[in-house]
Structure 1
């Protein structure tokens, strides 16, 4: 938790961006694994913790825009709770910690909302993503569960996106801590990239590293020698000599700020010539994207420039052909990179996606592109100082997708399909860094995880000693 003044100021700013009515910010509750008292690791709602800072279940925050009143609703723990959990702050004490004057029992929430509804006031809430909060909002507002997404307050969504998009110094320090945890995770994975190692063993070790730094990983770990499957959460393989191990993983601080990195390592410690050629192209695209990222530049344009680096590199290898600009305009590169260059990051690894990606990654000027590959770009809008984003180009050889394009002659003017027979068992390479947009460019968050191929080979080999 930050100093109470941080949350007071954030709520003050929020009130200036919403015209009238009351704002409801629902905290999360415990979620049971297999019976009520056996719960998953608690994760507070990011919007609630951004404005109210309290990392406890069973809380709701209410802000009256016109009167300026701020309230916390929740129940004090019982003696039975204290026996099992130890001494706990009262609701009033919790409220004081974050600069809120009014703390009331949970049931009083219904009275406050019903009074606002009876007076015809606006009830602002964000799109709910958990079942229990959907039920709560239905009880509070009488909006049907099926209509809650549509009835969520666009005014509130845009206000939160505006505030959370630009990270302050305290947040940047948290993100650096998350980056340090991610660095440890990835170096450990590199050192374990040896023949005969079970993927799950590596995944478990690096998950433990994140936990030891404050919280579980910022998202389920993606780790596989079948890196051509973009989000491969299956960790069942035994690593084979000469394959590529792709690890996409990030840490999360005790305050929930995230990191998100990807590295690809040669199993056994030596890239083949073919692997190194593709790796160098992806690295060049990554470096080019960092070089181009700065305030005022759209990330859509950076994505397309990175795609040109990939198309040009593959052309040099005889895999693609024709004019590079025309190939990217036609979307031919997406056979090899069917995803976007990156996304916003902060309290969430895909920051604020619960609010609607169209509001987080795009605006009235820059809209999503309806073309395979580029349509998966989560962030296209112009960058601003203080944004924190991911930069994650990749090249993948996906046999089913190659066969589809080949049989349907998709982008045949730009792809030498006969050259791809030798790459069906290649897998995939992705290289991802986290960037802070500065006044005149971009800088890496934290120390750069080893990325040059010689460095990576050296670390993998060190793990064999």
Structure 2
């Protein structure tokens, strides 16, 4: 649902408090459409998420301004000329006409102006983060912009908005739940219709049609519909091989089908992955690894509680997966040591999950937390947050047989004692298994927002 005026005022007040500004003027721009090179067409437009969060609107050109001296916010929205209205439907009028922004700024021309949102220039050299929320317990706020170089001020103030966006209010959660409901319709269509002989593209089109029929205005990201060995590419998407003449694979009986897809509603994303065997009973390897991934997901979802350190949740998943790979005869040794040395990461090479909100990988454009780890086991982890009530995170463990990793001579030499290479080579071409849900951190048990989407092992 669209937030009420009172809810928007509360968001803005929290952000202004974090900013700790006294006399500055801040302008947040939603942005303008970006054109396709060499054509008169444009990419689909989405507003900068900070503007969407603080204004709940996002037509191109929409601008939100803040006068720190007065403690007042002003919204400016585009108005179309009669000539433009011949070709395009007008955006919903919001705030003051956008052409009044220039005069509004001119009246404050003696003040420091800080531009945020679309087009804001980040510094080449980043200062220390404003707030880390890591296990050090730091709880700082954005420094006064007047004490910082212009680029650093942009970073600090953008980071402050990001910190507020991390925890979701009821209006945001309502939109994420509606996105999850639309995603449910798409996955239910897959379960009822996917069969050998269909192509990956057939399934993608049928699934996404149900997203739209259920009220979603768009998909949250390019849908991943990967069958067989394609499931070993973590971000396998249609037309990734050749945008002009894309290929699509026909599904055979017994193939694994990995679908990572989600609808969007009100600007908020859902993000769901299911992996199924199509048209045949699972093999022993498919059954074992699917059960292993599901067990890792269930155990780590239960860890998503206030105060949990995300790194520890990720490492718990890696140890569970590592123990299973030892049991299966793919790895040898102690699971904890296999995680530490990086052997498990050959088969689980990504982070356990990410925050979800106005972007499917939410709050990633602002370096609001510590520098990424140079530890190869944790390099893809993302910021090492302490989970808080109101955060929404994905939990998505997986096991993959990736040729680029398993065939690399340097890795084969490094892990000669840890990996049973004969067994691993037998499973090259297997693809991958990932299971993912969207999880709300609460004061009690975690709430799985995508729990209505079933997890069948076999379909078709």
Q: The TM-score by the shorter chain falls in which range? A: 0.7 to 0.9
Equivalent of residue 444 in structure 2, options 440, 447, 460? 440
> Which residue pairs with 2:69 in the alignment?
66
Cα deviations by residue, 1:42-73 (Å, 9 ceiling, x for unpaired): 32221111111223222211111221232233
Whether contact under 8 Å (1:344, 1:379) holds in the other structure is no
Offset of residue 162 of structure 1: 1.8
- Pair 1:449 & 2:453 matched: yes
> Which residue pairs with 1:52 in the alignment?
55
Change (3 A) 1:269 1:221: same
Whether contact under 8 Å (1:193, 1:239) holds in the other structure is no
> Which residue pairs with 2:275 in the alignment?
264
Offset of residue 396 of structure 1: 0.3
Whether contact under 8 Å (1:335, 1:401) holds in the other structure is yes
SS of alignment partner, residue 218 of structure 2: coil
- Pair 1:388 & 2:392 matched: yes
Offset of residue 390 of structure 1: 0.2
SS of alignment partner, residue 268 of structure 2: coil
> Which residue pairs with 1:372 in the alignment?
376
**Equivalences for 1:32-181 in 2 at 5 Å?**
32-33=35-36, 38-85=41-88, 90=93, 94-95=94-95, 103-106=96-99, 108-110=100-102, 112-113=104-105, 119=110, 121-126=112-117, 128=118, 133=119, 151=152, 153-181=154-182
> Which residue pairs with 2:343 in the alignment?
332
Instruction: Tell me how far apart the structure 1 counterparts of residues 18 and 359 of structure 2 sit (CA, whole Å).
Output: 22
Instruction: Tell me how far apart the structure 1 counterparts of residues 334 and 264 of structure 2 sit (CA, whole Å).
Output: 43
Cα deviations by residue, 1:326-346 (Å, 9 ceiling, x for unpaired): 111112100001100000001
Offset of residue 407 of structure 1: 5.9
**Equivalences for 1:238-257 in 2 at 5 Å?**
238-253=250-265, 255-257=266-268
Instruction: Tell me how far apart the structure 1 counterparts of residues 312 and 288 of structure 2 sit (CA, whole Å).
Output: 25
Instruction: Tell me how far apart the structure 1 counterparts of residues 189 and 37 of structure 2 sit (CA, whole Å).
Output: 32
Change (3 A) 1:318 1:105: closer
SS of alignment partner, residue 185 of structure 1: helix
SS of alignment partner, residue 236 of structure 2: coil
Change (3 A) 1:281 1:37: same
Q: What TM-score comes out, normalization by structure 2 length?
A: 0.84
Structure 2, unaligned runs of 5 or more: 122-148, 239-246
Whether contact under 8 Å (1:125, 1:152) holds in the other structure is no
Equivalent of residue 323 in structure 1, options 325, 334, 351? 334
Whether contact under 8 Å (1:299, 1:381) holds in the other structure is yes
Whether contact under 8 Å (2:325, 2:331) holds in the other structure is yes
Offset of residue 252 of structure 1: 0.4
Offset of residue 134 of structure 1: 6.1
Identify, as 1 or 2, the structure richer in helix: 1
SS of alignment partner, residue 227 of structure 1: helix
SS of alignment partner, residue 72 of structure 1: strand
Instruction: Tell me how far apart the structure 1 counterparts of residues 411 and 393 of structure 2 sit (CA, whole Å).
Output: 37
- Pair 1:279 & 2:290 matched: yes
> Which residue pairs with 1:401 in the alignment?
405
Equivalent of residue 356 in structure 2, options 339, 345, 361? 345
Q: RMSD between aligned alpha carbons? A: 2.6
Offset of residue 307 of structure 1: 0.3
